[in-house]
Structure 1
């Protein structure tokens, strides 16, 4: 019989002695053309809060036993980002570690492996969000240490550090499409900031939400001036970043029943974006029709955390250890 989790024999075990445990709390999912899919998870119920990253060359079946390859991490995995056009991607962890991984095919066996190309440990707390600029030469991260860092992906060093960037946890950072200098950030301090690294004072406030913290953001890939923001009350706000400190262009006060966790535009159809919250809800909105909900699903049994678009198919990953596919009508 397995020992009682509070027993002395269990407390004295090392991580190598404990039987393998599949990390069921899925945190993010990435889909990249020509590569496949990346799935990240954390172990939140064991004594050791580590994580796992799975790679799927064929992402039609997300059974863990059918993953092309996998890799364990020493702490929980929070978020990830693909470096488009390459076989590389980035993951960030609860410990504040940032890693760049590559997907390599072995010449002799034709099997795949995940190789760490470098890691850095500069955040003082968990990294909550990571985003890659279009050129893949820069990354931006935000964390629970109230800090935002801009990274050089070649040498993996922080070229810019803003500490504190906010006065509370940085919940989301998003690089602006078609830019290498501009990104947006949201925080539980109720502020959304627009950053321009070319300016001597790079930060400017684009909205201050006096009611609750801001929790998620997403750029419209076809309209680089349109930013969608979610807050802790479940509202969705649409902003024009050219108009600082102005009222939202549009808002949906009852978009979600709980705080928004992640938002993501469909790059194949810029009028569609998906969202999830601190619940089982998954919704897709139509920006061309006053944020009308065109799809809704509650089939997950725990919090939904990961969103990824594959053409008109939406993939969602949840803490219930499942990945669901949602066919969205065009």
Structure 2
């Protein structure tokens, strides 16, 4: 699969028949693996490089992070009506380092998280869009985050060369 611009993040859909990519052209592309080179959908809305994509646990939604300082949730179901961007989240920050800050879903899909250049881990409620947690501790940009599959624990990785495990209320 060839993209006209540099690709910075990828993931599979839940069936493995599609590849989802984001890059420096500010656009998310959904590719059909069976019909190589075919872009099925282009998700537009971000205004800067996309640094992370993550598929929701049920496979219906995509979370994206961008240098434009927004996280977006997109409806990627096959027959989604009209506008596919269903929610926008803010609070975390990118900066001059232009690190590839990643994002993730909680196992039940009720929360999302993203790293931030302000050295915090941000966790939002997907329904209300409220920031539930702004976890401190790192001394550098938080580049990647993940929720434990069973326990109320966050994992974060930072430019400060540390990994943190932090407990959150479930």
Q: TM-score range by the shorter chain?
A: 0.7 to 0.9
Q: What residue in structure 2 maps to residue 212 of structure 1? A: 93
Listed one character per residue, the Cα deviations across residues 288-311 of structure 1 (whole Å, up to 9, x for unaligned) are 37xxxxxxxxxxxxxxxxxxxxxx
Q: 1:248 aligns with which of 127, 131, 137?
A: 131
Root-mean-square deviation (CA, aligned residues, Å) is: 2.1
Give the TM-score taking structure 2 as reference length. 0.83
Aligned mates of 1:240, 1:199 — CA distance in 2: 24
Contact 1:227 / 1:240 at 8 angstroms: preserved in 2? yes
Q: 1:159 aligns with which of 17, 34, 40?
A: 40
Structure 1 gap ranges (5+): 1-119, 290-330
Structure 2 gap ranges (5+): 96-100
SS in 2 for 1:280: coil
Deviation at 1:249, TM superposition (A): 1.8
Closer, same or farther in 2 for the Cα pair 1:271/1:128, shift >3 Å? same
Q: What residue in structure 2 maps to residue 40 of structure 1? A: none
Aligned mates of 1:232, 1:183 — CA distance in 2: 22
SS in 1 for 2:152: strand
Closer, same or farther in 2 for the Cα pair 1:232/1:196, shift >3 Å? same
Name the count of aligned residue pairs.
161
Decide which structure has the larger Cα Rg and report it: 1
Higher strand share: 1
Listed one character per residue, the Cα deviations across residues 137-186 of structure 1 (whole Å, up to 9, x for unaligned) are 222111122121112233333211135x411111111111122x311111
Aligned mates of 2:22, 2:118 — CA distance in 1: 21
SS in 2 for 1:155: coil
Answer yes or no: is 1:260 the counterpart of 2:142.
yes
Give the TM-score taking structure 1 as reference length. 0.45
Aligned mates of 1:255, 1:135 — CA distance in 2: 37
Q: What residue in structure 1 maps to residue 20 of structure 2? A: 140
